[in-house]
């Protein structure tokens, strides 16, 4: 048996070694190394995107790149797609080894941090063009534009007209959203009906960036914030002031009253579609599944006005140029080319997201005034609050997530928020306020 095992392992090793020696040890064909000047004088630019596995968006981006490559002969952009879930780690690792591509996409709230860290270069000559983009689709740091996105997404409440009418709950509108009392009253009615273990699904089962993206707008609607935006130095007074404590107390009460689960399911849209919840709080990407399930019975609602108007998070994936690009003029040329309204429209249409410009929205049926998704664009225009544009945001986001989870699990609001402020302020200070 022994010799058999050794022989099997050795044979397998030889087979694999041969496979590798037959050319497999060479560098990947379209990696960062695939940028530079080729024999025919064309400068090749590597471009990274988070869209591996997302056929629609990758297809739309590929079409933009193909158009650019066909429009001139000086530059050739090569796409390398990464899976979204692990994209940031790949970029940070590449930055650590000084192997960033020329063009890359980035999640909006990371832009200030990556700009401060020196990964990104400011976008030159695009100010006028980007003036027409939704503010939440342009990444800025220290008054300079570093990135732009083709689209934004919007947070919304989803429900069924039939359910709300059955329980005598008013259907809110953009002009007349639910007040806090109305929202609480609606949840109480639904809970008292006995039809739902948890009437609202706020997608508390999600992890990571979802927490600050989804729940800091509720804090802002109460009048609090993640950091004092006058100078981005301290969270004191805004994340632990009376408004923030009121938010935390209310947020905790949602769970205490069993209106919301402390930890929801892995896929809140699927649970909503299966009738497990009456109200879903999620992004505009849920609309397709919900509409397919409920048709005209589906209603898309603005988030409640918790005192300072409804708020939703702003900022999605955006395109940027790396500071280490060996052909920055080529990268900038691509960025200008790709910022045309027709490309904003085509990518937004492929992803069913909110087009970044008015002109593009006019080209996408669903987002034209009265279109089935126009309401999300209204939300983005009326209610979007960009996450704090400070390099300290990733730390703030992690701290907020931890604190919000503690609160929802029963922590004392004031104590939990005070601790979060201490930690955030210490981080800002230890980084010399990122100046």
Partner 1 sequence: MSTATHTPKAKVPPAAAGAHNHPVVRAAVALGRVLLALIFGLPLVFMIVSSFKPDNQIFADLASINAFLPLGDLTLENYLGVFDRVPFARFMLNSIIVSVLTVGLGLLVNSMAAFALSRIQFRGQKIILTVILATLIVPFETMALPLLWWSNQLPWIDANGLSQGWLDTYQIQIVPFIANAFSIYLFYQYFDSIPRELDEAARVDGANWFRIYRSVVMPLAGPAVATVAILTFLPAWNSYLWPLMVVQSEELRPAMVGIDYFKQLNVSWGQIMAYATIITAPVLALFISFQRAFISSIASSGVKG
Residue 256 contacts partner 1 per CB under 8 A: no
Binding segment for partner 1 (CB under 8 A), chosen from 46-54, 115-123, 182-190, 307-315, is 46-54
* Residues 283-322 within binding reach of partner 1 (CB under 8 A): 283, 285-286, 288-289, 293
> In whole angstroms, how close is the CB of 98 to partner 1 at the nearest point?
8
Check binding of 53 to partner 1 (CB under 8 A).
Answer: yes
- 3-state secondary structure string across the chain: CHHHHHHHHHHHHHHHHHHHHHHHCCCCCCCCCCCEECCCCCEEEEEEECCCCCHHHHHHHHHHHHHHHHHCCCEEEEEEECCHHHHHHHHHHHHHCCCCCCEEEEEHHHHHHHHHCCCEECCCCCHHHHCCECHHHEEEECCEEEEECCEECCEEEEEEHHHHHHCCCCCCCCCCCCEHHHHHHHHHHHHHCCCCCCCEECCCCCCCCHHHHHHHHHHHHHCCCCCCCCCCCCCCCCCCCHHHHHHHHHHHHHHHCCCCCCCCCCCHHHHHHCCCCCEEEEEHHHHHHHHHHHHHHEEEECCCECCCCCCEEECCEEEEEECCCCCHHHHHHHHHHHCCHHHHHHHHHHHCCEECEHHHHCCCHHHCCCCCCHHHHHHHHHHEEECCCCCCHHHHHHHHHHHHHHHHCCCCHHHHHHHHHHHHHHHHHHCHHHC
Indicate the residue among 285 and 433 with the shorter CB distance to partner 1.
Answer: 285
- Binder of partner 1 out of 47, 65, 94, 227 (CB under 8 A): 94
**x/- letters, 124..163, toward partner 1 (CB under 8 A):** -----------------------------x----------
Q: Work out whether the CA dihedral 178, 184, 187, 189 comes out positive or negative.
A: negative
Q: Is residue 1 part of the contact set for partner 1 (CB under 8 A)? A: yes
Binding characters for partner 1, 13-32, by CB under 8 A (x = yes): xxxxx-xx--xxxxxxxxxx
> Based on CB atoms, which residue is closest to partner 1, 83 or 125?
83
Residues 70 and 56: their CA atoms lie apart, in Å, by 21
Burial of 358 (0-12, 13-18, 19+ CB in 10 A): middle
Q: Which tokens is 269 given? A: 């849209």
Comparison of 24 and 426: residue with beta carbon closer to partner 1? 24
Q: Rule CB under 8 A: is residue 6 a binding residue for partner 1?
A: yes
Q: In this complex, which beta carbon is closest to partner 1, that of residue 14 or of residue 171?
A: 14
Among the listed residues 74, 142, 170, 270, the single contact to partner 1 using CB under 8 A: 270
Whose Cβ is closer to partner 1: residue 346's or residue 351's? 351
For partner 1 (CB under 8 A), the number of binding residues is 61
Q: Which stretch binds partner 1 (CB under 8 A): 10-18, 356-364, 386-394, 408-416?
A: 10-18
Q: How many other C-beta atoms are found inside a 10 Å radius of the C-beta of residue 58?
A: 17
Answer yes or no whether residue 12 interacts with partner 1 by CB under 8 A. yes
**Any contact of residue 426 with partner 1 (CB under 8 A)?**
no
Q: Which stretch binds partner 1 (CB under 8 A): 47-55, 173-181, 219-227, 229-237?
A: 47-55
- Judge whether 211 and 398 are in contact, CB under 8 Å: no
Q: Which of 84, 257, 378, 423 is in the footprint of partner 1 by CB under 8 A? A: 84
Residues in contact with partner 1, shown as a per-residue x/- string from 97 to 126 under the rule CB under 8 A: xxx---------------------------
81 binds partner 1 (CB under 8 A): yes
Region from 128-136, 237-245, 262-270, 339-347 binding partner 1, contact rule CB under 8 A? 262-270
Applying CB under 8 A, which of residues 42, 90, 405, 427 lies at the interface with partner 1? 90
Contact between 230 and partner 1 (CB under 8 A)? no
Q: Which residues bind partner 1 (CB under 8 A)?
A: 1-3, 5-6, 9-10, 12-17, 19-20, 23-33, 48, 52-55, 80-86, 89-90, 93-94, 96-99, 153, 265-267, 269-271, 273-274, 283, 285-286, 288-289, 293
């Amino acid at each position: 048996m022994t010799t058999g095992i050794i022989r099997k392992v050795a044979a397998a090793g030889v087979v694999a070694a041969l496979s590798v020696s037959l050319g497999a040890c060479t560098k990947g064909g379209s990696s960062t190394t695939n940028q530079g000047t080729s024999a025919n004088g064309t400068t090749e630019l590597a471009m990274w995107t988070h869209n591996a596995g997302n056929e629609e968006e990758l297809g739309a981006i590929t079409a933009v790149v193909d158009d650019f490559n066909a429009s001139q002969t000086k530059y050739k952009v090569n796409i390398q797609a990464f899976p979204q879930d692990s994209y940031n780690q790949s970029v940070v690792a590449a930055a650590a080894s000084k192997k960033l591509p020329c063009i890359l996409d980035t999640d909006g709230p990371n832009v200030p941090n990556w700009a401060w860290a020196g990964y990104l270069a400011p976008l030159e000559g695009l100010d006028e063009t980007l003036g027409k983009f939704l503010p939440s689709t342009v990444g800025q740091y220290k008054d300079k534009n570093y990135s732009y996105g083709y689209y934004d997404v919007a947070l919304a409440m989803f429900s069924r007209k039939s359910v709300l009418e059955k329980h005598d709950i008013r259907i809110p509108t953009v002009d007349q959203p639910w007040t806090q009392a109305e929202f609480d009253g609606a949840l109480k009615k639904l809970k008292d009906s006995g039809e739902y273990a948890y009437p609202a699904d706020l997608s508390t089962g999600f992890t990571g960036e979802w927490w600050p993206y989804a729940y800091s707008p509720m804090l802002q609607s109460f009048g609090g914030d993640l950091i004092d935006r006058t100078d981005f130095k301290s969270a004191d007074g805004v994340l632990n002031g009376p408004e923030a404590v009121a938010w935390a107390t209310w947020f905790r009460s949602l769970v205490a009253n069993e209106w919301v689960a402390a930890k929801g399911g892995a896929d809140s849209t699927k649970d909503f579609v299966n009738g497990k919840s009456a109200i879903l709080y999620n992004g505009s990407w849920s609309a397709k599944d919900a509409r397919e399930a409920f048709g005209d019975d589906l209603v898309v609602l603005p988030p409640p006005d918790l005192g300072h108007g409804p708020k939703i998070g702003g900022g999605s994936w955006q395109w940027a140029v790396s500071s280490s690009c060996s052909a920055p003029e080529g990268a900038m040329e691509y960025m200008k080319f790709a910022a045309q309204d027709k490309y904003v429209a085509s990518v937004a249409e492929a992803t069913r997201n909110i087009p970044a410009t008015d002109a593009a929205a006019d080209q996408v049926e669903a987002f034209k005034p009265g279109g089935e998704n126009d309401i999300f664009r209204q939300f983005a225009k009326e209610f979007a609050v960009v996450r704090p544009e400070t390099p300290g945001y990733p730390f703030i986001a992690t701290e907020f997530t931890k604190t919000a989870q503690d609160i929802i699990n029963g922590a004392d609001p004031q104590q939990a928020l005070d601790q979060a402020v201490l930690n955030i302020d210490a981080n800002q200070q230890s980084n010399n306020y990122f100046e």
